[in-house]
Homo-oligomer: A and B are copies of this chain.
């Protein structure tokens, strides 16, 4: 941590600050410039309250030098993490194609869609059983029944299943789920993060609508601090002033997260745009940006979907997309 003192700071005030900082267990390197004095804090600065120091009268600004995330930091773990879900691998050059309906509606629907997306090349099945909805009056998902239907679809197709958990008390129902999704609105539900950190099961962690990259990594850190190292990060759009799409897909985070962390990063173009006809170009853009997989909503009958029909691809559209994804992958990984 580096503390820059204001011009004209009196000697006694400076000494006072230095001795207080030392009392927090850090060493201080003092560097007196022509205009400003800079204090370099060496040692374990994790106990020094950066905001508090920055708020002092004599302090101009404070800069932190080291990242607060450790477990998910590429600096300490240079090799890519490969998350393994049954036979499917994600990360380290392995690409995953997760597809399925927003909500599980009934056996015929989920099994039918699972077979269709598998035929196109999907290697995991998604489907919402517990649905986070802005309104308490909207359809909230089939819950336990939905999970049972996903298992049937898995049995029929062999596809591992991915589904979202909304609260700690529902976790027992997810024991036989292959990948547990933490939704964007729960990215900083720290209770839930801590609980899934105790599991030894892959977690799909979606970035919150207004979360920075650092916050996303700190949430991954909550899970990893509990010992669960199987995490897939997911960019799904952020909230900006832009009002033509539901959210703004922030693809630069794909290469950035790969620099900062060893965890795999996938892209969700369906939720980011909220519009089916934008899913294809944004999915391809995500692949071109170097992501490790895509999670895409597919529905056999979007007009009658109980949820988010507007952003679902039809199976034939998904099939065409998969072929284009392979083409882009070939160019990018060459």
Residues of A within 8 A of B (CB): 2, 4, 7, 20, 29, 31, 33-36, 38, 40, 42-43, 46, 49, 51-55, 60-61, 63, 65-66, 68-69, 75, 132-137, 166-170, 185-186, 188-192, 194, 208-210, 212-213, 215, 218, 221-222, 225, 238-245, 248-256, 272-278, 281-282, 284-290, 302-303, 305, 307-311, 324, 327-328, 330-332, 334
The 10 closest A-B pairs by CB, nearest first: A210-B210, A167-B191, A51-B310, A327-B331, A288-B288, A284-B288, A55-B310, A52-B309, A285-B285, A185-B188
Residues of B within 8 A of A63 (CB): 2, 63
Residues of B within 8 A of A277 (CB): 55, 255
A137 touches B46 (CB 8 A): yes
| CB atoms of B244 and A212 under 8 A apart | yes
Q: Which of B36, B167, B254, B308 contacts A66 (CB 8 A)?
A: B36
Measured in the bound complex, the distance between the Cα atoms of B40 and A301 in whole Å is 25
A198 to chain B minimum Cβ distance, whole angstroms, is 13
- Docked Cα-Cα span, A35 to B167, in Å, equals 38
Given contacts A225-B136, A276-B55, A327-B334, contact A255 B238 (CB under 8 A): no
* Cβ contact within 8 Å between B189 and A189: yes
Separation of A274 and B49 alpha carbons in the complex (Å): 13
Q: In the assembled complex, which residues on chain B have CB atoms less than 8 Å from the CB atom of A245?
A: 252, 256
Name the residue in A31, A42, A215, A285 with the highest tally of chain B Cβ atoms < 10 Å from its Cβ: A285
CA distance A31 to B41 in the complex (A): 11
Q: How far is the CA of A186 from the CA of B193 in the complex (A)?
A: 13
CB distance from A42 to the nearest CB of B (A): 5
Contacts of A287 in B (CB 8 A): 288
Q: Are B309 and A51 in contact (CB under 8 A)?
A: yes
A309 CA to B20 CA in the complex, in Å? Answer: 15
A273: B residues at CB distance < 8 A? 252
